[in-house]
């Protein structure tokens, strides 16, 4: 474990197994960033790292005979207004209205381990033996403000976790219109920016572009991390591939408005910023109060993008996901949504459950429509009481019946929402986020509860707890189906209105915290019209998420491929649905649908009471197969083998390997059948080069080195197999 501190020179060297991060205190008391990259051995020649050529036409401060040009110097957590004209990490508005800060280094503190944050999801090291935390204390004398910069190293996964903490020691309120979690200044900008962009039903598609001069950013102002941009991104050298090269990843443990930006300056340096989006944010830092930013995660490798994803995944399982669930195999579920939508009764559900049990499914999830009088999406959100018309004996009775069949039982909720046509709205019209006298903007006919108010969180905690207890729930699907508009709350002072977007998310976390503490065994799956809140803030409470509302196998390939860069397979809910597909009408074989959904938390979401005996037999086989290899599918090392962006854009492949390198399962997918093609050659990764392997129980054997370097030539697909095909290879060491 190594955070190496030179007290005399005031330098800090954060060393992980393969990376080094260095900064120092300047004579002004400011912090200068020196290096982030492949691990350096001590002692380090600092003089050479700190050289800075003085520039013309650039403001400078002179301190101890040294000219300091803030626009040139790489920094740790920069302010605006002293001549650094790049975007800053924070801003404080003083009671007089100026935005000038002078935080100066006071001291540091080093401790083993990493504490969880209060009121925010966070990384942790509960045994305090896998990490080391460095806190840098800075103080602004004139403003009487403290600033702490927190750095925790997790050497094994080459991860550094960062956050900032502001405290107002003065007697006057100051404003924080900007308080980001991470700044990283790099000396060059020869990187590709890998982002994961999309839309509803088209989430997290990989985009790769070279950095260009100026600011490039991704962000959200939807009070959710969003379908459109995920708060995860990578900077990789242009030559970096899945299997080789330098790359660094940035992720954010937060579910609301975010900003990820990279600014390439006039010297081709790059400044990276990650944090709460300063638009729609301004915190009133009252006397003797503090503000803690969410955490940002940084990880580095020289071994390619697969390695980067694997070390992140390992990190999440050990230091972010609730330990109870981190390695717990996730149940195979049936979800009634695409099977019935709102149109079901108890008999229909019990028939589905009987069939599910027969197929080997383990968890029955009753989706939207079981409460209030909800026959479509126009009513009843907020009334978490079962609909007597559909479930005459109540949802608790249904739960009992399902449990008696030997299945687990799960329920859908959309806690944050309210319908105008609901009893809750009759009782508390003021609980809905709105601006008095202004028009409301509905989304899916629904409105948003003011979760910034403690009494709303209390009500929801009570309402959900009652149902969870009555039904002895095993699983909760927590949905959130619209972005937030008219963000205003009469419960807060005018100057606090720009705190609301953050306070809303804190309310969501508070509700999650209370429910997961009270019901620690219940598995939560988060959802936001599919993958609209697929982020680490959610994963802290709900270890898996509904990846996308698009269940078409071919669409899912791109979604799951993109998602895999920043998230673990066990975080991705992946269902086999009907063909023709409900969203796109595309027809795919059950084999292909299964082969895509295996790489995640498998579920079925179609009317299994309407299938042919042959289809049922196939599903039974899929479930047996998945159960046999479930641990590898959910927790094995994942390798992206062929990128959808490469080659002929017609193939994609990936695979999982167990820790012992004795079993691997690879899948090759082909979009369209094409004439005059050679057989595809699949180059595997992650095998032991020296071991010998058999494929799909065939007698031929191959060394790991052959399969990884020469590859395995796949059988040619026949005309009959046509488009949208998947081939699965089960590779076992002999």
CB of 377 to ligand DGJ, least distance (A): 6
Q: How far is the CB of 410 from ligand DGJ (least distance, A)?
A: 11
If the CB atoms of residues 185 and 479 are measured against ligand DGJ, the closer one turns out to be 479
Contact call for residue 529 and ligand DGJ (CB under 6 A): yes
- State how far the Cα of 364 lies from the Cα of 409, in Å rounded to an integer: 5
Q: Which of 12, 546, 561, 604 binds ligand DGJ (CB under 6 A)?
A: 546
3-state secondary structure of 449: strand
Whether the bond between 43 and the residue before it is cis, its omega within 30 degrees of 0, is yes
Tell me whether residue 549 is one of the annotated catalytic residues: yes
106: number of Cβ within 10 Å: 14
Q: Which stretch binds ligand DGJ (CB under 6 A): 65-73, 121-129, 525-533, 562-570?
A: 525-533
Q: How many other CB atoms sit within 10 Å of the CB of residue 34?
A: 21
Shortest distance in whole angstroms from residue 128 CB to ligand DGJ: 38
**3-state SS class at 475:** strand
Residues 667 and 657: their CA atoms lie apart, in Å, by 12
Least distance (Å) between residue 477 CB and ligand DGJ? 6
Write out the binding residues for ligand DGJ, residues 88-147 only, by CB under 6 A.
none
Closer to ligand DGJ by Cβ: residue 600 or 686? 600
In the set 527, 596, 665, 684, which binds ligand DGJ (CB under 6 A)? 527
Identify the active-site residue in 30, 387, 549, 637: 549
DSSP structural state of residue 211: -
Tokens of 638: 């994942």
What are the structure tokens assigned to 87, written together?
């975007």
Choose which of 280, 479, 550, 555 interacts with ligand DGJ (CB under 6 A): 479
**What character string, x for contact with ligand DGJ (CB under 6 A) and - otherwise, covers 245-274?**
------------------------------
Give the CA dihedral 439, 443, 446, 447, nearest 10 degrees: -50
Q: Could you give the dihedral angle defined by the CA atoms of residues 716, 722, 723 and 725, in that order, rounded to the nearest 10 degrees?
A: -50
Shortest spacing between CB 331 and ligand DGJ, in angstroms: 17
* Beta carbon of residue 582, minimum distance to ligand DGJ (angstroms, whole number): 11
The residue of the chain with the least Cβ separation from ligand DGJ equals 368
Contacts of 481 (CB under 8 A, 6+ apart): 414, 417, 443, 444, 446, 528, 529
Region binding ligand DGJ by CB under 6 A among candidate stretches 155-163, 524-532, 673-681, 692-700: 524-532
Q: Which stretch binds ligand DGJ (CB under 6 A): 208-216, 316-324, 496-504, 523-531?
A: 523-531
| Nearer of residues 319 and 533 to ligand DGJ, judged by Cβ | 533
Q: At what angle do helices 613-635 and 346-359 cross, to 10 degrees?
A: 70
Tokens of 107: 């001291």
481: contact with ligand DGJ by CB under 6 A: yes
Backbone angles phi, psi at 643, to 5 degrees: -85, 145
Catalytic residue among 125, 140, 479, 601: 479
Please identify, using beta-carbon distances, which residue of 203 and 651 lies nearer to ligand DGJ. Answer: 203
- Site for ligand DGJ contains 310 (CB under 6 A): no
Least spacing, CB of residue 596 vs ligand DGJ, in Å: 17
User: By CB under 6 A, which span of 48-56, 205-213, 234-242, 522-530 interacts with ligand DGJ?
Assistant: 522-530
Which residue lies nearer to ligand DGJ by CB, 14 or 201? 201
Kindly state whether residue 525 participates in binding ligand DGJ, applying the rule CB under 6 A.
no
Q: Which of 158, 260, 367, 421 binds ligand DGJ (CB under 6 A)?
A: 367
Q: How many chain residues are in contact with ligand DGJ, going by CB under 6 A?
A: 11
What's the rounded Cα separation, in Å, for the pair 128 and 386?
Answer: 45
DSSP at 303: B
Please indicate whether residue 479 is annotated as part of the active site: yes
Among the listed residues 282, 231, 235, the one whose alpha carbon sits nearest the alpha carbon of residue 260: 231
What's the min distance (Å) between Cβ of 481 and ligand DGJ? 5
Binding part of the chain for ligand DGJ, among 39-47, 146-154, 526-534, 631-639 by CB under 6 A, reads: 526-534
**Binding status of residue 530 toward ligand DGJ by CB under 6 A:** yes
Among 549, 552, 601, 637, interactor with ligand DGJ by CB under 6 A: 549
Query: E strand or H helix at 507, and its extent?
Result: helix 500-518
Half-sphere exposure of 356 (CA within 13 A, CB side): 31
What residues between 407 and 426 interact with ligand DGJ by CB under 6 A? Answer: 412
Q: Taking a C-beta distance cutoff of 8 angstroms, is the pair 704, 661 a contact? A: yes
Up-side HSE of residue 649: CA atoms within 13 Å toward CB?
A: 1
- The sign of the dihedral angle between the CA atoms of 680, 685, 689, 694 is negative
Distances from the Cα of 733 to the Cα of 556, 684, 700, angstroms: 30, 14, 12
Which residue number, 337 or 635, has a Cβ lying nearer to ligand DGJ? Answer: 337
Contact 169, 145 (CB under 8 A): yes
Six token digits for residue 189:
């900008």
- 483 forms part of the interface with ligand DGJ (CB under 6 A): no
Both tokens of 543, joined, read 């270890």
Find the angle CA(442)-CA(443)-CA(449) to the nearest 5 degrees.
70
Three-class SS state of 620: helix
- For residue 336, what are the contacts with CB-CB under 8 A and spacing of at least 6? 344, 349, 352, 364, 365, 366, 367, 605
| Closest C-alpha among 546, 540, 556 to residue 255 | 540
Site for ligand DGJ in 327-356 (CB under 6 A): 337
Smaller CB separation from ligand DGJ, 524 or 669: 524
Given the complex with ligand DGJ, which of 531 and 562 has the nearer CB atom? 531
By C-beta, is 310 or 529 nearer to ligand DGJ? 529
What's the rounded Cα separation, in Å, for the pair 155 and 597? Answer: 33
**96: Cβ–Cβ under 8 A, 6 or more apart, which residues?**
none
- Binding flag, residue 325, ligand DGJ (CB under 6 A): no
Using CB under 6 A, which residues numbered 218 to 237 contact ligand DGJ?
none
Question: What distance in Å separates the CA atoms of residue 6 and residue 10, rounded to the nearest whole number?
Answer: 5
- Give the residue with the Cβ less far from ligand DGJ, 221 or 333: 333
Find the shortest distance in angstroms from Cβ 527 to ligand DGJ. 5
What is the number of H-type helices and E-type strands within the chain? 14, 40
CB of residue 530 to ligand DGJ, shortest distance in Å:
5
**Could you tell me which stretch among 355-363, 527-535, 612-620, 710-718 binds ligand DGJ (CB under 6 A)?**
527-535
Count the residues in the chain.
734
> At closest approach, how far in Å is the CB of 412 from ligand DGJ?
6
Give the Cβ contact number of residue 721 at 10 Å. 16
Q: Give the nearest distance from C-beta 348 to ligand DGJ in angstroms.
A: 17
The residue among 204 and 502 lying less far from ligand DGJ, judged by its C-beta, is 204
Nearer to ligand DGJ, 294 or 369 (CB): 369
Catalytic sites, residue numbers: 479, 549
Interface residues with ligand DGJ (CB under 6 A)?
337, 367-368, 412, 479, 481, 527, 529-530, 546, 549
């Amino acid at each position: 474990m190594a955070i190496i501190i030179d007290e005399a020179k005031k330098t800090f060297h954060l060393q992980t197994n393969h990376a080094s991060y260095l900064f120092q205190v300047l004579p002004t008391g400011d912090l200068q960033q020196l290096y982030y990259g492949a691990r350096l051995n001590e002692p380090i020649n600092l003089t050479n790292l700190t050289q800075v050529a003085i520039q013309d036409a650039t403001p400078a401060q002179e301190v101890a005979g040294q000219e300091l040009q803030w626009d040139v110097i790489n920094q740790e957590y920069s302010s605006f207004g002293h001549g650094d004209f790049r975007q800053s990490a924070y801003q404080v508005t003083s009671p007089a209205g100026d935005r000038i800060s002078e935080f100066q280094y006071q001291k540091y503190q080093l401790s083993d381990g990493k504490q969880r944050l209060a009121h925010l999801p966070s990384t942790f090291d509960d045994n305090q033996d896998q990490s080391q935390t460095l806190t840098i204390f800075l103080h602004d004398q004139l403003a009487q403000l403290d600033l702490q910069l927190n750095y925790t190293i997790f050497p094994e996964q080459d991860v550094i976790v960062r956050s900032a903490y502001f405290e107002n020691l003065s007697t006057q309120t100051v404003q924080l219109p900007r308080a980001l979690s991470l700044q990283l200044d790099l000396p060059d900008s020869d990187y590709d920016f890998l982002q994961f962009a999309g839309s509803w039903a088209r989430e997290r598609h990989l985009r790769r572009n070279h950095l260009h001069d100026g600011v490039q950013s991704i962000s959200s102002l939807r009070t959710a991390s969003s379908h459109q941009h995920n708060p995860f991104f990578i900077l990789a050298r242009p030559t970096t591939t899945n299997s080789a090269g330098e790359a660094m990843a940035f992720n954010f443990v937060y579910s609301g408005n975010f900003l990820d930006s990279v600014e390439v300056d006039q010297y081709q340096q790059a400044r990276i910023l990650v944090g709460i989006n300063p638009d729609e944010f301004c915190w009133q830092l009252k006397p003797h109060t503090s503000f803690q930013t969410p955490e940002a995660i940084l990880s580095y490798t020289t071994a390619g993008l697969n390695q980067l994803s694997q070390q992140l995944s390992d990190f999440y399982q050990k230091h972010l996901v609730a330990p109870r669930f981190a390695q717990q195999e996730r149940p195979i579920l049936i979800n009634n949504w695409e099977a019935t939508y709102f149109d079901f009764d108890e008999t229909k559900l019990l028939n589905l459950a009987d069939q599910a049990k027969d197929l080997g499914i383990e968890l029955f999830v009753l989706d939207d429509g079981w409460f209030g009088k909800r026959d479509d999406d126009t009513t009843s959100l907020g009334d978490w009481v079962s609909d007597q018309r559909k479930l005459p004996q109540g949802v608790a009775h249904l739960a009992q019946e399902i449990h008696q069949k030997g299945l687990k039982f799960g329920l859908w909720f959309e806690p944050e929402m309210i319908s105008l046509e609901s009893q809750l709205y009759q009782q508390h019209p003021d609980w809905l986020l709105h601006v008095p006298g202004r028009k409301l903007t509905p989304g899916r006919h629904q409105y948003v509860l003011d979760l910034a108010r403690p009494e709303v969180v209390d009500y929801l905690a009570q309402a959900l707890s009652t149902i969870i207890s009555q039904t002895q729930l095993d699983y909760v699907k927590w949905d959130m189906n619209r972005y937030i508009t008219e963000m205003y709350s009469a419960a807060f002072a005018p100057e606090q209105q720009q705190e609301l977007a953050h306070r809303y998310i804190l309310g969501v976390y508070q509700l999650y915290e209370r429910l997961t503490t009270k019901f620690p065994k219940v598995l939560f799956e988060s959802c936001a019209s599919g993958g609209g809140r697929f982020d680490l803030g959610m994963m802290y409470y709900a270890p898996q998420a509904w990846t996308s509302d698009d269940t078409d196998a071919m669409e899912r390939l791109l979604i799951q491929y993109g998602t895999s860069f920043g998230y673990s397979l066990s975080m991705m809910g992946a269902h086999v649905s009907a063909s023709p597909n409900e969203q796109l009408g595309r027809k795919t074989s059950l084999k292909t649908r299964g082969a895509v959904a295996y790489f995640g938390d498998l579920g079925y979401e179609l009317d299994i009471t309407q299938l042919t005996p042959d289809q049922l037999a196939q599903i039974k086989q899929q479930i047996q197969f998945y159960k046999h290899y479930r641990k590898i599918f959910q927790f094995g090392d994942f390798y992206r083998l062929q990128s959808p962006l490469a080659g002929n854009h017609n193939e994609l492949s990936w695979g999982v390997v167990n820790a012992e390198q004795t079993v691997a399962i690879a899948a090759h997918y082909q979009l369209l059948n094409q004439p005059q093609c050679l057989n595809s050659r699949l180059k595997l990764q992650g095998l032991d080069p020296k071991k010998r392997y058999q494929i799909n129980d065939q007698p031929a054997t191959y060394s790991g080195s052959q399969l990884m370097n020469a590859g395995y030539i796949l059988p040619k697909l026949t005309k009959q197999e046509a488009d949208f095909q998947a081939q699965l290879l089960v590779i076992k060491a002999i």
